[in-house]
Structure 1
Amino acid sequence: MVRDSPAPMGLISSDKMVSLSTTFVVLAALCWGLSGGIGGILTAQGWDPVVVSFYRGAIGFFFVLGWLALRPRGSGLASRRLWFWSAIAGVGVAGNFAFYFVSIAEGSVAVAVTLMYCAPVFVYLVSFTLKLERPTLFKWAAIAMVLLGVVLLTGIYEIGAGDVTPIAAGAGLLSGLSYAVFIFGFKYAAPHGSPQAILVIAFAVLTALLFWLGDPDQTVAVLKTPSWPLFVALGVVGAGLSFIFYIVGLKHTAPAVASIVAMVEPVTASLFGVVVLNESLALLQIFGMGLILVTVTALSVYSSAQYKPLTTKPLAE
């Protein structure tokens, strides 16, 4: 369809919109990266990772609730399918947050965020099982490369010699698996309502679930601790603004571009861990991390070029 307005003006407007949308995606990834570092500080202070995750999600809930109040049209809240799939997404994001911070507490920010970044691999494996995606040689090769990267990053090839504990590695991979559950939940909820409605339900489920699982004494103690500004910052940056930025940004950003700029998250989180938390990685671990990040990004770009992808964040997420 040809617009009535002059082509150059339309082109400029379109270019500016794409640039602004990409900026929003970068900001979201940056916020998620910083949230890993903030979570690392809080867990190092002795706070329960589940309690940390609860406050991240609870504060995020009020942000998306406000977004829904401002944009209520087409919410789809009367749809049972919206509620069902959004609840599944909520369970997924709850597991993602909690296992991510457990991995950080037991290991390091860099390892945790990289293992979480393996989520697209889990998405593909589930898609293969449910016959939603057709397996190809490229996809299997990419999955094999990611697994090799995990082996190098965690050091499991040298039993007892690696710096990454089994709990840290397992929790990191479970955070990625939980993230894959969130992706599927969001994907199947999307046709039945607005993104903000999905996020409100998902974050409500997350808040209720993590409140129930968390340490009640610590949950109350947060309200009186000198560290409360960090909890607020974590919720605002790690769940409030970041999810809204990503949703808005994806409207005019190609999935392939979004997959690439999402690399800002693990890079930011890793740099935070090295600079602020004095974490370090061996050379083989750095190589394994790079192998995972480059392969997963290539896999997501390939997927977006072939299909309407499941592997990019639907808030991505």
Structure 2
Amino acid sequence: MNKGAVAVVISAIMMGSLPVFVRNIHMHPTQIAFFRLFVGFVYLIIFVLISREKLALKKPKIVLTLAFANVLTITFYIASIQLVEAATAALLLYMAPIYVIPIAYVIGEKIGKRSWIAVPLGISGLYLMLSPYGGLNLGIIYGFLSGICYSFMFVLLKKVREFMSSIQITFINLSIASLVLSPTLILFPVKIDVITFYWVLGLGLIPTALAFTIFNYGIKYCRVEQAPVLALIEPVSAGLFGFVFFNEVFEVKQIMGAFLVLFSVFMALKGD
């Protein structure tokens, strides 16, 4: 088990706590996305000052594309969380491995045998966990869109990580993304009470600033198709958070799916 894999798994667990914050912040999805990114950006200013990290926008085209993909991923994911169960929204986000594998193959990345085995296992688990839904609804559609956008993030992050540190990537990514979403405060005016303020602070720190930095660090040491499989632990952790905080209970098929997801993560960890 390498340090990159461990970092991706830890970040996935932290990101799995996102529904707890989203459900306690009663705003439009784009507003929540803005505050998540902006507050995370403020926290990272502190990290940058402490680490004395030098910031430079290298290869702006690919970095801006990454930031845009990040905005879409987060906004669609938050919209999905507001409409369906926490675990379901997270599982739809993690359909990303389906899209990453062909992208990785096309761009010439070497795909390990265990990763080829782990991905269908993980996707089978996702299918079982989504089985209670008989058809499409807006929450599921938003979830699928978040997964598509997320797959491009994995590929872009792998490339950006070659010439930027994890803190640099996260700092610049959050600053650009929060700037893009800032007009939502004008379109959807909002008043923040004291309790919501504390939830917003937590939203920017735990599933955002810390999780993104750890994830960006870990992806440098993972193959491009391996990271999404490792990160499949997020929907499982989101399901546990949903059970503890919102009494969302899995059916038998969903529990079986969760075990398949965990086993696929184990396979990916052994991929090296």
User: Which TM bucket (shorter chain)?
Assistant: 0.7 to 0.9
1:68 lines up with 2:48 in the alignment = yes
What is aligned with 1:204? Answer: 175
Q: Residues 22 and 127 of structure 1: is their aligned pair in 2 closer, same or farther, counting only changes over 3 Å? A: closer
Q: Which runs of 5+ in 2 are unaligned?
A: none
Instruction: Map 1:1-317 to 2 at 5 A.
Output: 28-42=11-25, 45=26, 47-72=27-52, 75-77=55-57, 79=58, 81=59, 83-128=60-105, 130-133=106-109, 142-155=118-131, 162=133, 165-212=136-183, 214=184, 216=186, 218=188, 220-224=189-193, 226-247=195-216, 250=218, 255=222, 262=231, 265-295=234-264, 297-298=265-266, 300-301=268-269, 305=272
Higher relative contact order (CA 8 A, sep 6+): 2
Partner Cα separation in structure 2 for residue 216 and residue 299 of structure 1: 47
- Superposed CA deviations along residues 123-159 of structure 1, whole A, max 9, x for unmatched, are 112223x24246788766655444444433323xxxx
Q: Residues 247 and 139 of structure 1: is their aligned pair in 2 closer, same or farther, counting only changes over 3 Å? A: closer
Q: Larger Rg: 1 or 2?
A: 1
Other structure's SS at 2:179 match: helix
- Superposed CA deviations along residues 246-297 of structure 1, whole A, max 9, x for unmatched, are 456x49x9749988975653333211111211212322233234334433x2
Q: Which runs of 5+ in 1 are unaligned?
A: 1-17, 156-160, 306-317
Other structure's SS at 2:254 match: helix
Q: Residues 75 and 172 of structure 1: is their aligned pair in 2 closer, same or farther, counting only changes over 3 Å? A: same
Partner Cα separation in structure 2 for residue 60 and residue 168 of structure 1: 25
Say what the alpha-carbon RMSD is for the aligned residues: 3.6
- Could you state the TM-score of these two structures normalised by the residue count of structure 2? 0.79
Other structure's SS at 1:192 match: coil
Tell me which amino acid in the other structure corresponds to 2:81.
I
Q: Residues 148 and 301 of structure 1: is their aligned pair in 2 closer, same or farther, counting only changes over 3 Å? A: same
Q: Residues 167 and 286 of structure 1: is their aligned pair in 2 closer, same or farther, counting only changes over 3 Å? A: farther
Partner Cα separation in structure 2 for residue 97 and residue 289 of structure 1: 23
Tell me which amino acid in the other structure corresponds to 1:200.
F
Partner Cα separation in structure 2 for residue 59 and residue 224 of structure 1: 16
Tell me which amino acid in the other structure corresponds to 1:216.
I
Tell me which amino acid in the other structure corresponds to 1:39.
V
CA contact (8 A) 2:170 2:216 kept: no
- Could you state the TM-score of these two structures normalised by the residue count of structure 1? 0.69
